[in-house]
Copies of this chain bind each other. A is one copy, B any other.
Amino acid sequence: MPHTYRVDRTEECKPYKASEFFRTLSAAALADFESLAIRQTYAPREVLFEEKRNPSRVFVLLEGQVKLSMNSMDGRRLILRIAGPGELPGLTSVLSGKEYEMTAEVLCPCKIASMHRQEFLGFLLRHPAAYASVARDLSQEYTRACEQLRTVGLAATAPVKLARLLLELCGGAQQTERGTQFRLTLTHGEIGECIGTSRETVTRTLSDFKSRHLLDFRGSTLMIHNHLALANCAEV
């Protein structure tokens, strides 16, 4: 899995401060981190790390999106989530030293800071206060994993799962007088891989929701008309 080494030092460290992880770090710790990390640009379809491999580097996603997924050898896939700026995918494995439990693949062009695992562990020893940030991040990841377990493992039917996913995705989207509108960047196939159903079932369930006037979609733009009724479908 060779990484591209297009090192990029033109950016300021503003992106770090925007991140939840680095917000509470001291200036000294931030500078220390910055001095150890290298910045690179990754192209779509590049793989940051693969499940079952031993963790070698910490990655900080500064710009772009990364798809985190699990893959079985018979071609099935479960998308855990699409990581955005400020996230540290794979942090757990870097800490524990155990093999990655997921694969991280670049979706759209990314700016990413990274450093060797050992250097990061050294950084944590020098700045124990950073463990608070680590704990916060892990806590968030765990909460998300539980949410997905709820969706995938507890929801009985495909409509319920899809409704749950849509409500999660539209969180924090802009409200209009007609409802909540947002861009659905995932394909039907990818949506299916998020909730453990087939591509076709996603299409059918989505158009069922449409015919019931819960939502509407043209292209990749999705509009949720009846938020309450959809929440009812999601059994929340």
Binding site for B on A (CB under 8 A): 70, 72-74, 76-78, 80, 92, 95-96, 98, 101-102, 128-129, 131-132, 134-136, 138-143, 145-150, 152-156, 196, 235
- Report how far A139 CA is from B142 CA in the complex, Å: 9
Pick the 7 closest A-B CB pairs, nearest first. Answer: A131-B131, A152-B153, A138-B138, A101-B146, A145-B145, A78-B154, A96-B139
Instruction: Say whether B139 contacts A78, CB under 8 Å.
Output: no
- Report how far A168 CA is from B95 CA in the complex, Å: 22
- Interface contacts beyond A73-B235, A145-B145: sample of 12 additional A-B pairs, CB < 8 Å, sorted by A: A72-B150, A72-B155, A74-B156, A78-B154, A92-B143, A96-B136, A101-B146, A138-B138, A145-B146, A149-B153, A152-B153, A154-B196
Shortest distance from the beta carbon of A49 to any chain B beta carbon, whole Å? 14
Chain B residues whose C-beta falls within 8 Å of the C-beta of A138 in the assembled complex: 92, 135, 138-139, 142
Instruction: Say whether A149 contacts B154, CB under 8 Å.
Output: no
